Structure 1
Amino acid sequence: MLADMRGNITDEMLKRGDEITWREDIKNKSFKTLFEEKRINLTSDIEAEKEKLTQLQGKLKQPQIAFYAHHLKDILLDTKDEILIFEKTFTNEGTGYNTSTGLFMAPVGGLYQFVVHTCTENNEYVYLGLVMEGSVIAAHAQYGDKNHSCNSFGAIIRVRSGEKVWVKSTSSANRRLAHNSSSRMNTFSGVLVKSDI
């Protein structure tokens, strides 16, 4: 009888052991399945975030647009609305400034800063305007009393891609600007401060 009891206990223990092993197998399989699902989801989320970051990096790349033009084609400004054509450039990043027409055409839209620096001869005067798409956005009057006079003016404005900015004479009563020399230079410059891209 003791042998039978031992046999029954042993059989019961084996059954329980098999059941425990079976339950552990199920738990392990469930855990592995759950772990694999979580790993796949996490990997997918990481890839999606990487793609978002890549797109943001592309948007954050600021195009380099800047020009610095000098040497006026004509210093006699006796016609109203005459465009000042600066024939040479030290800088023309983005090739927005045209030395043949005197016009800057924005390669990309954004916030730009423009500066005009001019010098007059003795007893000469000029009236100038910084123009965007036909509208004067900054004006300037300059008189070179007994000595040469140099002054600057400018503006910070939002310009759309393809829009044009230039400098013009705003009066037919203008006389003339000074010749470029080692001590004075007529210049027109612009730089993209922040793009709309």
Structure 2
Amino acid sequence: MYYSKCVQEFFIIVLVFDSSLCGMNEPQCFSRFDYDEKMLEKMVRAEIKDEELLGKLEALEQRLVNVENKVDNTVKEIQANMNHSPVAFFATISSSFTTSSSYQTLVFDKVLTDVGGGYKPGTGVFTAPVNGLYVFSASVMVDLSTSASSAHISINKKSSRVVYLFVNDSDGNYETGVGTVILSLQVGDTVKLTCNESERTIFYYSFISGFRL
């Protein structure tokens, strides 16, 4: 009887101790839940911020695309305006001269027309200011009354011969070579006339002209 009472008291003590432990652990369980809830809340907030940053980044990218499109359109407009800009020149020789070396550039120093600024009367070289098809015409009168019997006048694109304007002594006086070429030029390409022989007198009736189609 006494032993049974002791056992009952022992179980009562165990139950009380166990219940007290649960009471002690309840705040910890609640704290863990609160921690998880706060972490979840932080994750949600971070996700919302990421979405906001992503939206701002997409908006910035779209603005950048719009700026690039505007720049491209502006460049195209400038190029279109440049491509429609007229280019033309016409130049003659102010006084006759004699070539002093082979393959000498013929300088037509008297400019009567110059639209686009492509021709330089100081050098006799035309430089294409815009891309396009160009027409060049030249008439070169050579004095062959001396011992010279012929002359080879060439139209050159970027220092490469395109055609010859060949003049030959037929009556011992002045002979004229005339020619027209159509050339496709890029910006910076050059066109000029040269005389292959030295000691050829180029008469002042000579001229050169060119224009962009």
What displacement does 1:163 show? 1.0
**Is the Cα–Cα contact under 8 Å of residues 87 and 102 in structure 1 kept in the other structure?**
yes
**Is the Cα–Cα contact under 8 Å of residues 138 and 154 in structure 1 kept in the other structure?**
no
The structure 2 residue matched to 1:81, chosen from 103, 117, 122, is 103
* Residues 69-148 of structure 1: pairs in structure 2 closer than 5 A: 69-71=91-93, 75-123=97-145, 124=148, 125-146=150-171, 147-148=173-174
Question: Which one is further off, 143-152 or 111-120?
Answer: 143-152
**Is the Cα–Cα contact under 8 Å of residues 65 and 96 in structure 1 kept in the other structure?**
yes
**Is the Cα–Cα contact under 8 Å of residues 166 and 177 in structure 2 kept in the other structure?**
no
User: SS of the residue aligned with 1:59?
Assistant: helix
Residue 191 in 1 paired to residue 211 in 2? Answer: yes
* Residues 24-63 of structure 1: pairs in structure 2 closer than 5 A: 59=80, 62-63=84-85
The TM-score with structure 1 as length reference comes to 0.60
Q: Which amino acid aligns with 1:100?
A: G
Distance 1:138 1:167, change over 3 A: same
1:135-181 per-position Cα deviation (integer Å, ceiling 9, x unaligned): 00111210243242223113101010111110011234x52222x2x
Distance 1:169 1:138, change over 3 A: same
Q: Residue 168 of structure 1 aligns with which residue?
A: 194
Counterparts of 1:163 and 1:111 in 2: how far apart (Å)? 12
Counterparts of 1:143 and 1:153 in 2: how far apart (Å)? 15
Q: Which has the higher Rg, Structure 1 or Structure 2? A: 2
Q: Which runs of 5+ in 1 are unaligned?
A: 1-51
The structure 1 residue matched to 2:180, chosen from 141, 150, 154, is 154
**Is the Cα–Cα contact under 8 Å of residues 143 and 200 in structure 2 kept in the other structure?**
no
RMSD, aligned CA = 2.4
1:40-80 per-position Cα deviation (integer Å, ceiling 9, x unaligned): xxxxxxxxxxxx9xx88x83872110000111666212421
Q: Residue 10 of structure 2 aligns with which residue?
A: none
User: How many residues were matched structurally?
Assistant: 133
Q: Residue 6 of structure 1 aligns with which residue?
A: none
Distance 1:151 1:141, change over 3 A: closer
Distance 1:73 1:100, change over 3 A: farther
Counterparts of 1:160 and 1:95 in 2: how far apart (Å)? 15
Counterparts of 2:194 and 2:144 in 1: how far apart (Å)? 21
